Amino acid sequence: MIRLASWIVGSLIITALAAWMISLPGTLTLEVGGYRMEPRLGAAVLMFILIAIVVIVLWAIVRRILTAPRIIARRNRERRREQGVEALSDAIVALQAGDPARARSLAREAQARLPANAAARLLEARADLALGDMPAAREHYRALIANEKTAVAALTGLYDQARTQHRPDAALTFARKALALAPSSGWAADAVFDDLTKRSQWAEAVAMVNVEQASSREARAGKRRRQAVIETARAREAETSAPLAALDHALTALKLLPDFVPAALIAARIHINRGDTRKAMSLLRRIWRATGHPDIAALYAHAQPGASAVERLKRLGEIIETPPAHRAAGMALARAAIDAYDWPLARKSLAPFMDTDATQGVASLMAEIEEGQSGDQGKAREWLSRAVRAPRDPAWTADGLVSDEWEPISPVTGKLDAFEWKVPMTVTHRAPAPLPVAQLPADASLPLAPATMPT
């Protein structure tokens, strides 16, 4: 309604202006080619307006005719581009749907219609890789490396190809090149970092972690843990050859993760070997209160070189209450009591954990108690039989492998920080590496981790 009213008002205004112009007084004299015209002023203005309109219309028609070839060519290019984009899209869908042959055909069609689009060639290379045509894929990727926009993507494809062909050195080379071109490339950084940790190149590995940008709280926590694990690995490696440097690395790890048991064990052992027993015991008491880890209790009992079994039991009583607060404490106290031939205390330490949920470690210790206290072979065998069927005790476990001590990387996958203190799900066992001579006093008889009995 408003539009109709506006149109009527506009028409009336234009009509009024035309009538006003026609009624203007005066004449205009025009002489052209011997002809003389004297129209009224208003009529002359209308004539000029009409002539201008005719000229504009004629010029538009001529211009349309002159630019028609260019317009047709542009429309053809747009149509080819639309067809190329559609083929590229269909190729991506086909590749994701598991049809690499169709994806390669569509990628070639897209490349023919979009010669300047590197994505079509990259997609064709991906399809070649999926089809197992390694030489063709390699040629495409190598051609794409020359383009700054597609270099990282091409290196990604070459990295995947090298891994598929089981060429780890070539894959690492491509990852290093990609990391140099794009430091923020996650896959390249992970590949280079994993290689550094597998080769125990801890200084370079921790340098990579230090430059990482961690924005969220979870990312910062993960960064601190990786730093602590690497520092602990450096301490573990240098514990015998350079104990002071190893101590610095272990203390750095404890600053990052205050209750990290492997770092605490290394630092405490070095303190003990240097004669700083008080520092070692203070550190072990703090870690024991935070974690209740049996390795901590075992080392605390042996903190004083040359101490007798009775003295070790007395020292362990400084950090473990009676009755023990949890199974690990009870087992550690029972172990020390057995060594000191204090059979009542050993039995009392395990009493809260002798029910149906007794673990293999508890059952094994009870077998020792029965045999050592009363010489009852029948009860000892009964406990050993029960140990075979009992739940396992926590141990250092990674990728189904059980180790007697913590290791920085998994021997199976090479993953950093793979070992966890938990109940193992398998019985695969890894023997401990030869420990440094100075790790524990010569009279140490307690294991650093509960024994894992086979089933």
Evaluate if residue 76 carries a pLDDT over 90.
Answer: no
Residue 287 and residue 357: Cα distance in Å, rounded?
A: 27
Say how many domains are in the chain: 1
Q: Is residue 254 part of a domain?
A: yes
Chain centroid to CA 236: how far? 25
Residue 79 and residue 360: Cα distance in Å, rounded?
A: 75
Rounded to two decimals, what is the model's pTM? 0.69
Mean pLDDT of the chain: 81
Residue 379 and residue 386: Cα distance in Å, rounded?
A: 10
- Of 219-228, 251-260, 425-434, the one with minimum mean pLDDT is 425-434
Q: Tell me how far apart the terminal alpha carbons of the chain are, to the nearest angstrom.
A: 91
Q: Are 360 and 391 in contact (CB under 8 A)?
A: yes
Q: What is the pLDDT of residues 387-411, one digit of tens each?
A: 888 888 899 999 888 988 999 998 8
User: How far is the CA of 413 from the CAs of 135, 328, 330, 399, in angstroms?
Assistant: 29, 30, 35, 8
Residue 231 and residue 341: Cα distance in Å, rounded?
A: 40
Residue given tokens 């205390």 in the structure block: 345
Q: Is residue 236 part of a domain?
A: yes
Q: Are 417 and 225 in contact (CB under 8 A)?
A: yes
Q: Is residue 279 part of a domain?
A: yes
Query: Cβ-count burial of 267 within 10 angstroms (0-12 exposed, 13-18 middle, 19+ buried)?
Result: buried
Structural domain of 273: 225-291
Sign of CA dihedral 351, 352, 354, 358: negative
| pLDDT at residue 52, rounded to an integer | 86
Would you put residue 387 in left (φ > 0), alpha (ψ -120 to 50) or beta? alpha
- How many CA atoms lie within 13 Å of 131's alpha carbon, on the beta-carbon side? 20
Q: Output 332 or 36, whichever has higher pLDDT.
A: 332
Q: Is residue 108 part of a domain?
A: no
At 342 the three-state DSSP class reads coil
Q: Output 153 or 271, whichever has higher pLDDT.
A: 271
Q: Is residue 10 part of a domain?
A: no
Q: What is the pLDDT of residues 307-328, one digit of tens each?
A: 888 888 888 888 888 788 888 8
Q: Is residue 233 part of a domain?
A: yes
Q: What is the pLDDT of residues 142-155, one digit of tens each?
A: 777 777 777 888 88
| pLDDT at residue 33, rounded to an integer | 64
Residue 454 and residue 351: Cα distance in Å, rounded?
A: 24
Q: Is residue 194 part of a domain?
A: no
Q: Is residue 431 part of a domain?
A: no
